[in-house]
Amino acid sequence: MKVGSLFSGAGCGDLGLEWAGFEHAWFCETDEYARQILAMRWPGKTIYGDIKEIDFTSVPSVDVLAGGFPCQDISTAGPGKGIQGERSGLWSEYARAIAEIRPRYALIENSAALVVRGLDSVLSDLAALGYDAEWHCIPAASFGAPHKRDRIWIVAYPNSSRLKEYSRAEPIHQEHPAVECGSGETPISNTKGDRRSVRRVGAFSTNGIFKASRCADGSGTRFDGSGQWWEAEPGLDRVVDGTSNRVDRLRCIGNGQVPHCTYFIGRLIQEHSRQTFSKAVGMK
């Protein structure tokens, strides 16, 4: 499937999707250092700039939109303004991209604090666009990282009404290992008080796109099957004079996603696509 990457950073999460077999059509990132990394890793791919200036009706169509909108106002380490903050408020631009592109999937990542600082708004916006959503807080430690790095991962896809739009789509032919998929529904109240039914998956559920038993905590199966922790980088102050490229690199890592997480979720999306959209186009 084709991917459009939003808030790409240095493409850490995009690496995981590439490992899972996705193909990137374009990227969107404003930071100049990160753009250089993207150009090096994906030569020849279009890298758009400010998301607020992009007309998404004119960009190449993609099956998946993926990216983590800024977390500075949502993270517990930030000012705590929530999703209405200047940086994290760029979620509205992500929602606009979904509305204009109408992808089969949207993969959205942010700080786990989004659960209490804006998740209701995100789910309400997705429901208004005709998308169901599932979410799960998955720490990088689940895949062997030497730190927790807990993040919320939201996967949105068309609800039963929107799914009809794909009844004339091209058949999907993919080969993947089988992964259990199902669904559940919980009504969510948004800030305006109305209620919409959106799909979700609980922390210990085995339904839906996420299968929590494989990624519940740091004691689970590692990505590489070795059961070993990753090797940590040597300590270095982030603002040491004369190491500007090191500072830029650390900033990109700090803002980036762990590719092992996006690989895992990417494989689940592929299987869900094979099951769900194959039925929509009449395949067995």
The catalytically annotated residue of 12, 28, 71, 261 is: 71
CA dist., res. 139 & res. 239, Å (int): 27
CA dist., res. 261 & res. 12, Å (int): 10
Instruction: Specify whether 71 is catalytic.
Output: yes
CA dist., res. 267 & res. 284, Å (int): 20
SS3 annotation, the chain: CEEEECCCCCCHHHHHHHHCCCEEEEEECCCHHHHHHHHHHCCCCEEECCHHHCCCCCCCCCCEEEECCCCCCCCCCCCCCHHHCCCHHHHHHHHHHHHHHCCCEEEEEEEHHHHCCCHHHHHHHHHHCCEEEEEEEEEHHHHCCCCCCEEEEEEEEECHHHHHHHCCCCCCCCCCCCCCCCCCEEEEECCCCCEEEEECCCCCCCCCCCCHHHCCCCCCCCCCCCCCCCCCCCCCCCCCCCCHHHHHHHHHHHHCCCHHHHHHHHHHHHHHHHHHHHHHCCCC
Nearest 5 degrees, angle CA 19-CA 50-CA 238? 70
Which active-site residues does the annotation give? 71
